[in-house]
Structure 1
Amino acid sequence: MFIRQAIEADAAAIHAVHTAAFRDQNPAGTAEIPEARLVGELRADGDLIPALSLVAERDGEVIGHACSSAARVAEDTGAAVGFGPLGVLPELQRSGAGSALVHATLGAANALGFAAVVLLGDPKYYSRFGFVLASTLGITPPVPDWAPHFQARALTAYTPSIHGPFRYSPAFERL
């Protein structure tokens, strides 16, 4: 498996990965899987951070994708990024591709000087990567009901002054 930055030519494969990965979590008859649509909208809006849009490739085929987008904590734009979606083809889930994408994202975000990576996801899965409930860091979710699943991972540039309400890129609000 090889992790690399996504390129424009990967767009169709990335869409297919998220469509397959999230199909079972979306109601039958949904015209397009929201997670797959979200990635395209983040890209179209210019909010997808190219250095944090990563693919897992095996034998020349894109098997997974993770992306991060512009976000803000309180009025601080650029301190944190919104992570997700993270998708891996169903037949290759639990093969280590998702974990590799998370580790690569955290390393790249840290190297780029971001202070935190924030996400909405399963604490059982993401705690192994050092994510904690965002409220522990004083970061509050845009929707209060998300609190039990709203997590953050502090990076080297993190300071306690980075706290307050979190806001994803506008594409998340259009879901």
Structure 2
Amino acid sequence: MDVGAVHIRDECADDIGAIRCVVVDAFADHPHSQQTEHCIIDALRAAGVLSLSLVAESDGAVVGHVAFSPVSIGDGSPGWYGLGPVAVTPAQQRRGIGRALIEAGLARLRGLGAAGCVVVGDPGYYGRFGFVASADLRYPGLPPEYFMALSLTAAPARGDVAYHAAFDVA
């Protein structure tokens, strides 16, 4: 997928250092970040659960990244994923790159037959992609309006959602 001069593609081994730099830079001044997002991605990759890892490339440089990894649902519903972290280098933000990464990732999940996707974040931003807060899916300890889900199939899911242990990186 291309957005202007930006190409969206799967990550490759040569991208790992650049991904880490983009993620560190993107979250450096974020008020709700503990600056561990790059560690989460590394831990997901090391655990073999980085299900989908896409980069945005411009002029041969990685300028954005999005990760998707499996989540567990309290009722045992299979095929659910968590979106995040998603990052775009500060100089390239507000150009639609993050949107393109998320849309490409969701399209790939649909193609894989995924049941759904959850995300923690700004409802105003993620609502654009169809994510909504749901009383049926909860992330304990987080205000419900900041935890949203997007069903990709008609199969309902209910219960508490748990991300992989890689998200517990401190």
CA contact (8 A) 2:39 2:169 kept: no
Q: Which runs of 5+ in 1 are unaligned?
A: none
Which residue in the other structure is 1:140 paired with?
A: 138
Equivalences for residues 110-125 of structure 1 within 5 A: 110-125=110-125
Q: Which runs of 5+ in 2 are unaligned?
A: 1-5
Q: Secondary structure at the match of 1:109?
A: helix
1:84 maps onto 2:84 in alignment: yes
Mapped to 2, the partners of 1:173 and 1:45 lie a distance apart of 13
1:165 maps onto 2:165 in alignment: no
Mapped to 1, the partners of 2:128 and 2:23 lie a distance apart of 23
Runs of 4+ more than 2 Å apart: 75-78, 143-146
Which residue in the other structure is 2:23 paired with?
A: 18
Mapped to 2, the partners of 1:42 and 1:125 lie a distance apart of 24
Give TM-score, length-normalised by structure 2.
0.90
Identify if the C-alpha distance between structure 1 residues 165 and 89 changes in structure 2 by more than 3 Å, giving closer, same or farther. same
State the shift of 1:71 in Å: 1.1
Mapped to 2, the partners of 1:61 and 1:98 lie a distance apart of 15
The size of the alignment, in residue pairs, is 164
State the shift of 1:74 in Å: 1.4
Deviation per CA, 1:115-148: give whole Å up to 9, x if none.
Answer: 111010100101011110132xx1111x233322
Q: Secondary structure at the match of 2:110?
A: helix
CA contact (8 A) 1:73 1:164 kept: yes
